[in-house]
Amino acid sequence: MHIRITKASDIPSSEITPKAHYMSRRRFLGTAAAGAALAPLLAAAPAGANLRWENIVKGPFSTDEEPTPAEDVTSYNNFYEFGTGKGDPIRNSRFFRTKPWSVAVEGEIEKPGTYQFEDLVKPHQLEERVYRLRCVERWSMVVPWVGIPLAAMIKRFEPTSKAKYVAFETLHDPKRMPGQSYPVLDWPYVEGLRMDEAMNPLTLMVVGLYGEVLPNQNGAPLRLMVPWKYGFKSIKSIVAMRFVEKMPPTSWSESAPGEYGFYANVNPDVHHPRWSQARERRIGDFLKRDTLMFNGYGEEVAGLYAGMDLAKNY
């Protein structure tokens, strides 16, 4: 196994981040010690401004693999709202502003409403978790994400027994997201999870990486991270959550249903129609490695799919 479970107080962020990258990011330009202190962190500055979260605890389920250098994590991205090239997001999102930011929460819940970012993100809940990210294009990274367990956020909305799925939606604003001016997908980007997937302890609502506020190109200010699924399930720049009874549509399964399914679990035995998913290349490595079932998180999530045909439910 490549998973270790640690207590919140065991490991400071500085021991996870490679020293050279950590020390270069020691400049504190903001504070998030209390809700009122979130404001200076939410006004999105140009990429690379190094605004940091404070008082982050070490979360559970972190891999013991070496994190991918922060420079690679923040410059090699899929974020089609800012362009289809891997270098487009960092160039085209530089002046994307994320303040103010709100999320509309609707559907089969007792507490619907429009929640401001500051209401959703409580600094005392922030954890750093080092998760693998596996892209369907056969590359992967290891990223120290900063976020809040999605389950903790969902419980505040008090879902009813009719809430079988949770659907997510990305901001739709072609003036701010120039990639949306092109019909690459049917905008806005939408995704969804089964409720048991959303409530799994691994599922994280992300607000940062490497101890810093989430950069624009990585999905600021609020994105999902579902580490046992391919990266396209981890929707970025979320503005809506809807709790529904039936399986919601998702952008890639609607656009190319023969290539991308609703579940999108990392599975080396189920190939993309145009390539094999059996091996992957970690960013920065020359040689490929074997792809792990459920991206290596099978012990935590395999039970969610007991009895399912994972070739049919891809």
Residue 299 CA from chain centroid, whole number: 20
Other C-beta atoms within 10 Å of 244: how many? 17
Digit-coded pLDDT (tens) for 200-237: 999 999 999 999 999 999 999 999 999 999 999 999 99
Q: Considering the domain 13-304 in this protein, what is its CATH number?
A: 3.90.420.10
Digit-coded pLDDT (tens) for 145-177: 999 999 999 999 999 999 999 999 999 999 999
Which residues make Cβ contacts (< 8 Å) with residue 312, sequence separation at least 6?
Answer: none
What would the 3-class secondary structure string for the chain be? CCECCCCCCCCCHHHHCCHHHHHCCCCCCCCCCCHHHHHHHHCCCCCCCCCECCCCEECCCCECCCCCCHHHHCCCCCCHHHCCCCCHHHHHCCCCCCCCCEEEEEECECCCEEEEHHHHCCHHHCEEEEEEEECCCCEEEEEEEEEEEHHHHHHHHCECCCCCEEEEEECCCCCCCHHHHCCCCCCCCEEEEEHHHHCCCCCEEEEEECCEECCHHHCCCCEEECCCECHHHCCCCEEEEEEECCCCCCHHHHHCCCCCCCCCECCCCCCECCECCCEEEECCCCCCEECCHHHHCHHHHHHHHCCCCCCCCC
Per cent of the chain over pLDDT 90 is: 82
State the pLDDT at residue 4: 38
Digit-coded pLDDT (tens) for 115-147: 999 999 988 899 999 999 999 999 999 999 999
State the pLDDT at residue 50: 61
Residue 166, CA distances (Å) to 104, 157, 216, 245 in order: 13, 12, 24, 9
Digit-coded pLDDT (tens) for 49-72: 568 999 899 998 999 999 999 999
Is the model more confident about 188 or about 22?
188
State the pLDDT at residue 51: 87
State the pLDDT at residue 49: 53
Residue 30, CA atoms < 13 Å, CB-side half-sphere: 22
Question: Smallest Cα–Cα separation from 157: which of 107, 110, 205?
Answer: 110
State the pLDDT at residue 45: 44
Least trusted range by pLDDT, from 34-38, 146-150, 152-156, 254-258:
34-38
State the pLDDT at residue 25: 39
Domain ranges of the chain: 13-304
Separate counts of helices (H) and strands (E) for the chain: 10, 13
pLDDT tier, 295 (very low <50, low <70, confident <90, very high otherwise): very high
